[in-house]
Amino acid sequence: MAVLALFPGSFDPFTKGHEAILRRVLPLFDKVVVAVGVNSEKAERDRSGANGAFGGMFSPEERMQRIREAMKDCPTVEVVCYSGMTIDLCHQLGAKVIIRGIRTAADFEYEQLIASVNRSQDPTIETLLVMADADHRNISSTLERERLTHAAE
């Protein structure tokens, strides 16, 4: 039986830290689906242009393309876009593991809470928390957006 894992996130943008975690977990699974999450409520609130048309710097399609480009050498990676509950996407795809990267103690606290909620919804789906490499602990999508914004000025 093939083991499928889900790596969900907003990935706005997909950073070297995200890529490093993804590459580290690839040998553990037959397939990893990177799921670009879109919060439709947030997107609707942010259509005024403050954060772009989709509540972020990049559209979901741009995010997906960037991930595909970064991972083009990895045939066991698939990229999808979704909205709604991550656990529902796991059910749709048949994923048994959710991968989450953590950089700090604050990330751990947050991810532990989310993992508990997911486990209460389906105890057969496990969450794998993966510590970021030391070289990537200071990388965040928020800081990367800031860097890209200032680079474009």
pLDDT tops 70 at residue 140: no
Task: DSSP for 54-68, please give it.
Answer: TSSSS-HHHHHHHHH
Query: Which of 116, 6, 12 minimizes the C-alpha distance to 65?
Result: 12
Query: Which of 125, 54, 131, 118 minimizes the C-alpha distance to 85?
Result: 118
Tokens, residue 23: 């590459």
Please write the tens of the pLDDT for every residue from 33-82.
Answer: 999 999 765 544 444 444 444 457 889 999 999 999 999 999 999 999 99
pLDDT at 130: 97
Please write the tens of the pLDDT for every residue from 88-125.
Answer: 999 999 999 999 999 999 999 999 999 999 999 999 99
Predicted TM-score (pTM) of this structure? 0.82
Q: Which CATH superfamily is domain 4-152 in?
A: HUPs (3.40.50.620)
pLDDT at 147: 55
Tokens, residue 132: 């970021």
